[in-house]
Chain A
Amino acid sequence: MKMDVHPQLALVPYVRGQLGQDESEEVRLHLEGCTACRAEAASLLAIWEELSARMEELPQQEWIAYRSELRRKLEARQFRRRRRRIFALMSLTAAGAAAAAMLMLVVRSPTHAVPAVEELALEQQLGSNDLGLLRNYPVVERLDLLENYDVIEHLNELSPASPREQHDSRS
């Protein structure tokens, strides 16, 4: 198949042998019948070859000095990275130690094992109230009767406590 348009952009890849088989064949067929494109392809190949031969004209460096400078730069960078890594490791260790110390403090905190002073005082007060009730134990004992409605109905008929019981309850 012959190309209708001039394949100008494909000329350099064509002369360099970098086109696929199909496209290369299309360009070849076009060039057979197109003098202008043949001339263009020839001149592009000529300039390519000239450039290739003159590449060394572009600025150069003193390569030994270039490489030793590169080595120095690389070493300096590696040193900085190593130092940063050590610093990060040390920071991590310090943070870990601090976290462990905090954990120890929380675990061994006296609030869990020994009651606070205020709690002790409250417990003592409640205890002494209970003891007061126990002092009137015969009365408390009789309060149980309230649970029995039959007894409640006949409260007036209960015999009064004996003088000895009254003395005991007072003491």
Chain B
Amino acid sequence: MAELPDEELCSRVAARDNHAFEALVERYQARAYRLAYSVLGTEADARDVSQDAFIKLFESAGKFGGRSLFSTWFYRIVVNLCIDHKRRHRWWSKIVPLRVSLPEGNEAGLEPVSSLPGPEAEAMRRETATALAAAFVHLSPNQRVAVLLQVQDGLSSREIAEVLSCSESTARVHIHRGLAALKKLLKKDE
């Protein structure tokens, strides 16, 4: 099972093969979790949302048409669930006075965590024990997702554009700016 390609495992999951599902979970758990973490910024939310993404995968594996890579399709699920999660919890910011509401026009809910003084950003800052994680906080979520998928999975800018639902040139901008910012931030720490 472990040597089968993602697409084959996904078609077996569609036929309700639990072993194939377990294999896909083991293969993608760390990557899905890191991706969710890069968007949401808290470990608990990243854990919940990445698990929800696997449940969604189990339920809708039959919808994977094979027109793109499995990883691109699955990461799109993760990113969409992250956006939904942020939207669902946005109302909280309106009734909790400690939290500053999100800027206008940020419809996708992918605002830079580092620019927010709210508890979510604070929690993320507290959790970032390592220099790399601390540097990641300073990127916009789009940059974080783009850099993460580029470095972690080696996705091309076209595939990253698919995950982020943007143009390829925009994806290239996110990758370039994200890497350039990390270069500065990590150099400063040394």
Q: Please report A residues at the B interface, Cβ cutoff 8 Å.
A: 8-13, 16, 18, 43-44, 47-48, 50-52, 54-55, 57-61, 63, 66-67, 69-70, 73-74, 77
Report the separation of the CA atoms of residues A48 and B129 in the bound assembly, to the nearest whole angstrom: 21
Closest B residue to A69 by CB, please name it.
Answer: B51
Report the separation of the CA atoms of residues A60 and B47 in the bound assembly, to the nearest whole angstrom: 10
B179 contact from A18, A47, A70, Cβ within 8 A? A47
Binds A, one of B84-92, B102-110, B130-138: B130-138
B151 at the interface (CB under 8 A from A): yes
In the complex the two chains form, is B172's CB within 8 Å of A10's CB? Answer: yes
Report the separation of the CA atoms of residues A59 and B152 in the bound assembly, to the nearest whole angstrom: 14
Query: What residues of chain A lie closer than 8 Å to B34, measured between beta carbons?
Result: 55, 58-59
Binary contact readout B117-140 vs A (1 if CB under 8 angstroms, 0 otherwise)? 000000000010011110010000
B19 at the interface (CB under 8 A from A): no
A51 contact from B26, B37, B46, B151, Cβ within 8 A? B151
Interchain nearest-CB distance for A163 vs B (Å):
104
Query: What residues of chain A lie closer than 8 Å to B156, measured between beta carbons?
Result: 13, 16, 18
In the complex the two chains form, is B29's CB within 8 Å of A63's CB? Answer: yes
Interchain nearest-CB distance for A146 vs B (Å):
88
A12-B30 in contact given A47-B183, A54-B132, A58-B132 (Cβ < 8 Å): no
A58-B179 in contact given A13-B157, A73-B51, A74-B58 (Cβ < 8 Å): no
In the complex the two chains form, is A67's CB within 8 Å of B182's CB? Answer: no
In the complex the two chains form, is A66's CB within 8 Å of B151's CB? Answer: no
B154 at the interface (CB under 8 A from A): yes
B133 contact from A48, A52, A58, Cβ within 8 A? A58
Interchain nearest-CB distance for B100 vs A (Å):
24
Interchain nearest-CB distance for B165 vs A (Å):
19
Residues facing A in B153-186 (CB within 8 A) are 154, 156-157, 169, 172-173, 175-176, 179-180, 182-183, 186
Report the separation of the CA atoms of residues A57 and B37 in the bound assembly, to the nearest whole angstrom: 13
Interchain nearest-CB distance for A102 vs B (Å):
38
Query: What residues of chain B lie closer than 8 Å to A54, measured between beta carbons?
Result: 130, 132
Interchain nearest-CB distance for A66 vs B (Å):
6
Query: What residues of chain B lie closer than 8 Å to A12, measured between beta carbons?
Result: 150, 157, 172, 175-176, 179
Closest A residue to B130 by CB, please name it.
Answer: A57
Other than the given A44-B183, A67-B22, 4 more pairs (CB < 8 A) read: A10-B172, A11-B176, A44-B176, A60-B30
Report the separation of the CA atoms of residues A73 and B56 in the bound assembly, to the nearest whole angstrom: 11
In the complex the two chains form, is A51's CB within 8 Å of B33's CB? Answer: no
B25 at the interface (CB under 8 A from A): yes
Report the separation of the CA atoms of residues A61 and B43 in the bound assembly, to the nearest whole angstrom: 9
Query: What residues of chain B lie closer than 8 Å to A47, measured between beta carbons?
Result: 179, 182-183, 186
B147 at the interface (CB under 8 A from A): yes
Closest B residue to A76 by CB, please name it.
Answer: B55
In the complex the two chains form, is A51's CB within 8 Å of B157's CB? Answer: no
Query: What residues of chain A lie closer than 8 Å to B75, measured between beta carbons?
Result: none
Closest B residue to A11 by CB, please name it.
Answer: B176
In the complex the two chains form, is A77's CB within 8 Å of B172's CB? Answer: no
Interchain nearest-CB distance for A31 vs B (Å):
16
B127 contact from A48, A59, A69, Cβ within 8 A? A59
Closest A residue to B129 by CB, please name it.
Answer: A59
Closest B residue to A13 by CB, please name it.
Answer: B157
B74 at the interface (CB under 8 A from A): no
